[in-house]
Structure 1
């Protein structure tokens, strides 16, 4: 499961001899490669507390995918793993509390929190497939255009355009205060009616400040469905709910992952990315 930015992640690995038996190594080292390509080498205690079972503690510094490489000598053994770190801003539509309440999980217990958060984040991705960004985020995108009356940003709805800069020397930058932004569809144009001359790099904030109830309701249905399909023999979800008939046909791009009830709730927003 992903770790939060800034927490201490415990990295673990086993060292085995050629016969497959757990054994202490003469040397043990772990290297973490961060998303930006830099590396860190957390300390590894050797010999370990339990034979052949090593760990190192690493304080996460960057969001994104990390590579973890363990190397042992005496015997020669190696192991490669990955470590995912969430961004500082939550990517979820529902809070952890709301998600657990909807799944009828104890708010006091924490043993399933990581799994709930994982499926909660996956639910947000599914929702945004239909309606565009919901959770506010900064987007930087390049537009290889010549002279145009307007730019169509790719991640609508748009909360705010913060910068429009040239991608080549001698190009023109545009003050966002002198631009019109059609927020629901993400169309940007000059207030004076002039042309935008590219290529341009646009930085903007996309998402919603208010999440409509049809969106949060659909998120609850999708979360319940994903949770139930991963735990067919366990409790969770709404009492008496029959999720087996909530999906009747595949949805292009998502297969059977989304119940039709959720799609129907999202239908008022499903007029193109970001329309609300």
Structure 2
């Protein structure tokens, strides 16, 4: 994972038919950007017999980047994916507080990048339960034909702009609620399929502690197998390490089936769980 504006090192070791490193005669690197355009950065050929091709790529846009290496003599091809994260970084909690929750020393940066991925993943899962938490600008389209439109990403902090059939709607001609209900004052929105575009700010100005705690706990439960052992919350009360002898000890390191979001997290989120919007 790389942040927009950051540098990620792309590399590929060229090997011959016998599987040994080999310096190629030619090498090409292509990076397909999220919008479908293709960049072809210059590549410096190795001359030390290592077969190692390296390029430091600067991510300028968020999204999925497809990286493709190709060489001749020997002929090889290799593809990979790099995900660039938006600079807004829509995470509920930060790396420092996650490391404190996991009892990882601040000076230990070994797993920082992997942890940042877990933070974004857990944040998305929590927001699916309680709505948008990390403040961000959302643009969505809705179909007109009625007086009310239900916005998809509440809670709403501000409606910045509304376009109906491509024309700006005066702010005095509609009302909105934090729960995501957008209402036209003067009758109905014009009929059409996805013909109303709304740009609004969603999120929470203050994140309740139960949501922070639930996010941290979700990260902890799903991170701990990375440290060795399953650490399942369904271990029958025998402790995270399954004991120290016999069959229980032999189970350490084996992943058992369970829920990604256990009840201990869901119960923390219940006070803020999204409810239905009533028209």
Q: TM-score, normalization: structure 1?
A: 0.85
SS in structure 2 at match of 1:197: coil
Cα shift at 1:269: 1.4
Q: Distance in 1 between matches of 2:105 and 2:267?
A: 30
Instruction: Give the corresponding residue for 1:13.
Output: 12
Q: From the superposition, tell whether residues 75 and 160 of structure 1 become closer, same or farther in structure 2 (CA, over 3 Å).
A: same
Structure 1 residues 115 and 157: alpha-carbon distance in aligned structure 2, compared to 1, 3 A threshold? same
User: Take 2:12 and 2:92, find their aligned partners in 1: how far apart are those partners?
Assistant: 34
2:188 to 170, 195, 212: 195
Distance across 1 between alignment mates of 2:232 and 2:75: 50
Match of 1:149 in 2: 147
Give the distance between the partners of 1:213 and 1:102, measured in 2 at CA: 14
Whether the 8 Å CA contact 2:173–2:186 is kept in 1: the answer is: no
Q: After TM superposition, give the deviation of residue 178 of structure 1 in Å.
A: 3.8
**C-alpha spacing 1:155/1:83, structure 2 compared with 1 (3 Å):** same
Q: Which residue of 1 aligns with 2:114?
A: 115
Q: Distance in 2 between matches of 1:133 and 1:273?
A: 15
User: CA offset at residue 64 of structure 1?
Assistant: 0.3
List, as ranges, runs of 4+ consecutive aligned residues in structure 1 with deviation greater than 3 Å.
Answer: none
Counterpart-to-counterpart distance in 1, 2:235 and 2:201? 35
Q: Could you report, residue by residue, the CA deviation over 1:58-116 in whole angstroms, capped at 9, with x for unpaired residues? A: 11111000010101011111111111100001121111111111010111121110011
**2:135–2:202 Cα contact (<8 Å) kept:** yes
Please report how far the alpha carbon of residue 229 of structure 1 lies from its aligned counterpart in structure 2 after TM superposition: 2.8
Size of the alignment, in residue pairs? 254
TM-score w.r.t. the length of structure 2 is 0.84
Give the structure 1 partner of residue 265 of structure 2.
262
Structure 1: gaps spanning 5 or more residues: 235-241, 248-254
Q: How has the CA–CA distance of structure 1 residues 177 and 49 changed in structure 2, closer, same or farther, with 3 Å as cutoff? A: farther
Write the distance in 2 (CA, Å) between the matches of 1:30 and 1:273: 49
Larger relative CO (CA 8 A, sep 6+): 1 or 2?
Answer: 1
Q: Is the 8 A contact 1:222 1:262 kept in 2?
A: yes
Q: What is the alpha-carbon distance in structure 2 between the residues aligned to residue 122 and residue 230 of structure 1?
A: 15
| Equivalent residue number for residue 176 of structure 2 | 181
**Partner SS state of residue 215, structure 1:** helix
Mapped partners of 1:271, 1:34: distance in 2: 35
The residue aligned with 2:228 is 232
Check the 8 A contact 2:144/2:188 in 1, yes or no: no
| CA positional deviation for 1:20 | 2.0
